[in-house]
Amino acid sequence: VVVHDVNELTEKLFPIVEAMQKHFSAGSGTYYSDSIFFLSVAMHRIMPKEITQIIQVDLDLKYKTNIRDLFDEFDNFPEGAVIGIAREMQPVYRHTFWQYRRENPQTKVGDPPPDGLPGFNSGVLLLNLEAMRQSKLYNQLLEPAMVQKLTEKYHFKGHLGDQDFFTMVGMEHPELFHVLDCTWNRQLCTWWRDHGYSDVFDQYFQCEGEVKIYHGNCNTPIPED
């Protein structure tokens, strides 16, 4: 077991992710402490080179299967993919991309699966650190000018940290991501159903198959066995 000091990680992270924080953080401005919410974005830059793959997970999860099976998903990454991540299961990005969607009525951005691009949820992440280090495209997307360019294109202002960054990048470069089945990150939050999206909510929320990991996001109770 290796324990990492949060303050040391934040110190390394801040210069890399400072530019994106103003686009993907709650509140206004850039808070030094917020950097930790972008850990996954730059994990390949701050972890020792001998670490080639990492699974990063939220705390509000309940495992119904051996996490070793999740590690096997690394073998399913298509060429060019650097991150494994499940889709967002609420219409949060339908909401966030409202202006882009209005200007581009034919877009799939923010639409529900299976044909739409609902965005990602970062509660369960497979980070292929070696692929992230090798990917010229991914590292270009971390540059402040590229972040600025994409946020302007999509009129994007988020508050969910790394999840917002991955979602926005996924709209532009889906080839960087291996999409995990919803059963690996079965989100339970229903906040958006009661906040203006009840008519389309179930299109995002449905998930067929035996759940492997429950995600009790927004403090939602997780079912008992």
**Which pLDDT band, with edges at 50, 70 and 90, does 2 fall under?**
confident
Q: Residue 220 falls within a domain, yes or no?
A: no
Concatenated DSSP letters of 176-189: GEEEEPGGGSEE--
Q: Residue 221 falls within a domain, yes or no?
A: no
| Helix %, strand %, coil % of the chain (to 5) | 50, 15, 40
Q: Residue 166 falls within a domain, yes or no?
A: yes
Would you say 178 and 73 are in contact if contact means Cβ atoms under 8 Å apart?
yes
Q: What is the pLDDT of residues 22-71, one digit of tens each?
A: 899 887 566 667 899 999 999 999 999 999 999 999 999 999 999 999 99
**Which pLDDT band, with edges at 50, 70 and 90, does 218 fall under?**
very high
Q: Residue 30 falls within a domain, yes or no?
A: yes
Q: Residue 224 falls within a domain, yes or no?
A: no
User: How many structural domains are present in the chain?
Assistant: 1
Q: Residue 1 falls within a domain, yes or no?
A: no
Name the nearest CA neighbour of 116 among 94, 92, 83, 84. 94
5-14, 161-170, 183-192: which range is least confident on average? 5-14
* Percentage of residues of the chain with pLDDT beyond 70: 97
**Which pLDDT band, with edges at 50, 70 and 90, does 150 fall under?**
very high
Which pLDDT score is estimated for 171? 98
* CB hemisphere CA count around 147 (13 angstroms): 20
Which token pair is 82? 């650097």
- Average pLDDT score over the chain: 95
Helix (H, G, I), strand (E, B) or coil at 120: strand
Which pLDDT score is estimated for 29? 60
Which pLDDT score is estimated for 179? 98
In angstroms, the CA 170 to CA 164 distance is 10
Phi-psi region of 27 (alpha: psi -120 to 50; beta: other; left: phi over 0): left
**What is the residue range of 95's domain?**
6-215
Q: Residue 167 falls within a domain, yes or no?
A: yes
Average pLDDT over residues 132-161: 97
The answer to whether residue 12 scores a pLDDT higher than 90 is yes
Average pLDDT over residues 3-30: 87
**Which pLDDT band, with edges at 50, 70 and 90, does 144 fall under?**
very high
Q: Residue 223 falls within a domain, yes or no?
A: no
**CB-CB neighbours of 10 under 10 Å:** 17
